[in-house]
Amino acid sequence: MAMSMAGSGGGGRRRRGRKPVMAEINVTPMVDVMLVLLIIFMVAAPLMTSSIDIDLPVASGGKSISSNQPPLTISVKRTGGGCNSNVELYLADAPIAPADLLPKIKAIRETRSDAESVVYLRGDKDVCYTDMMKLLGEVRTAGYKANIVIIPEGGS
C-alpha cells in the first residue's frame, strides 16, 4: 500500500506530458507567398507604364551648354635643371613662349562663352610643383577655371 500512495503523489492530480516547442521555421508557406507576389508584380509591371502622348513645348533662346570647340589644354614639360628652371609650354599642341601665354589665353577667353571657361593643365612627371602653381595662377588671372589632369604613364 505504501507504494501505491507514493505513486499518486499530489492528491490524484494527473500531469500530462507537453509537446516540446518547435524551434524550426516552416519555409514552405513563405515560399508560396513570395511566388504569388512575384507573379503579381510580373503581371502588374507592364500595366504601370503610361502611354499618354504629350506634345512638349520646344525651348528656344538662351546659351547652349554643349560646345563644338575642344577644351583648351595647356601642357608643361621641364627642359632641364632644378625647380624654377626652364619649362616648355604648349597651348593645345603648339609650343608657346611663357611670356605670350597670358595674353593669348585672355584673347581666347573673350571668344568663348562662360560654359567653355575651363582649361586643362597637363604636366610632365618631372615638372615641379611651383611651376604648375605659377601656371595655375596665370590661368586663373585670365578668368578660367582650371583642372589639373593627371595622366598615368603610357597614356597620351
pLDDT for position 41: 92
Asked if residue 33 has pLDDT above 90, the reply is yes
Asked if residue 13 has pLDDT above 70, the reply is no
Look at residue 37 and tell me if it is in a domain. Answer: no
Asked if residue 107 has pLDDT above 60, the reply is yes
Q: For residue 71, what pLDDT band results from cuts at 50, 70 and 90?
A: confident
For the chain, the domain total comes to 1
Mean pLDDT of 15-31: 83
pLDDT for position 37: 96
Output the nine-digit C-alpha cell for 78: 621641364
How do strand 87-91 and strand 94-96 relate by DSSP bridges? antiparallel
Look at residue 98 and tell me if it is in a domain. Answer: yes
Nearest to 146 by CA among 122, 113, 129: 122
Look at residue 136 and tell me if it is in a domain. Answer: yes
pLDDT for position 120: 84
- Give the structural domain span for 98: 72-149
Give the phi and the psi of residue 34 in degrees, each rounded to 5. Answer: -65, -40
Amino acid at 98: P
Asked if residue 136 has pLDDT above 80, the reply is yes
Look at residue 49 and tell me if it is in a domain. Answer: no
Q: Decide: helix, strand or coil at residue 100.
A: helix
CATH of the domain at 108: 3.30.420.270
Query: Whole-prediction pTM value?
Result: 0.51
Look at residue 126 and tell me if it is in a domain. Answer: yes
Look at residue 34 and tell me if it is in a domain. Answer: no
Q: Beta-strand (E) ranges in the chain?
A: 72-78, 87-91, 94-96, 118-123, 145-149
Look at residue 130 and tell me if it is in a domain. Answer: yes
Least confident interval from 26-40, 48-62, 65-79, 122-136: 48-62
| Higher pLDDT, residue 5 or 143 | 143
Mean pLDDT of 40-68: 69
Asked if residue 40 has pLDDT above 90, the reply is yes
